[in-house]
Amino acid sequence: MVGEAPISVSDYGDDYIDLLIRKVGLVTEKLFELQPGDKVWMRGVHGNGYPMEAFQNKHLVIVAGGTGVAPVKGLISHFCRHPEQISQLDMILGFKNEHAILYRNDMNLWRSTHNLITTLDEGEATDVFRIGRVTEYINELDLSQPDTLQVVVVGPPIMIKFVVAAFLEKGLAQSQIWVDYERRMACAVGKCGHCRMGDKYVCLDGPVFRFDQTQQLID
């Protein structure tokens, strides 16, 4: 046994689990050495997920950046398969540059069924990728009926901070916004304390939190 690493499930089906894995350490380096047919040991899934019941018949907005697109891939795919479950879906997905783009092929389906804006922080604009931060394109969304909105924000902490602030300025309540807090998790059962924020454990109580419930969390 080499060790363990916390990895988010980005999608799943009847006979598969989709994981986005970066080669950044001992465990992930060994994973990249595996061949088809090799076996790995998995435990989980731990923590919570997105509150699908809260999104039913709502206008859902998903804003994600970088590897933060991975945790929302399954959410997006679900509503692309079941568009009748929501009234509208807008997505703003941002990446650092051309080389950092994830799920390029999946985006073709997402763009054909719902409103998708994709951005690059640096580089040159293309037919489908614009240049700029994700916050720069929030004004392009139709937010004229704020009471129908539910917003999901996933990405680096600084991105979450400014995206949430932008939606609050638009008149949304904190209870309409959901954030995904990724922390360094080791045990995933609330024992080691690495992911503790205030009196919450991200591995147990998260990683998805309603924003108004995060205000007392101390990082």
Instruction: Tell me the pLDDT tens digit for each residue of 67-89.
Output: 999 999 999 999 999 999 999 99
- pTM comes to 0.91
Distances (CA, A) of 161 to 5, 133, 149, 180: 26, 13, 19, 12
74, part of any domain: yes
Domain around 205: 52-213
Which residue from 137, 69, 135, 124 is spatially nearest to 101, judged by alpha carbons?
69
Q: Is residue 128 a part of any domain in this protein?
A: yes
Q: 197: domain CATH number?
A: 3.40.50.80
For 97, the token pair is 């540059």
- The number of domains in the chain is 1
Question: Per-residue pLDDT for 219 more than 70?
Answer: no
Residue 59 burial (C-beta neighbours within 10 Å; 0-12, 13-18, 19+) = buried
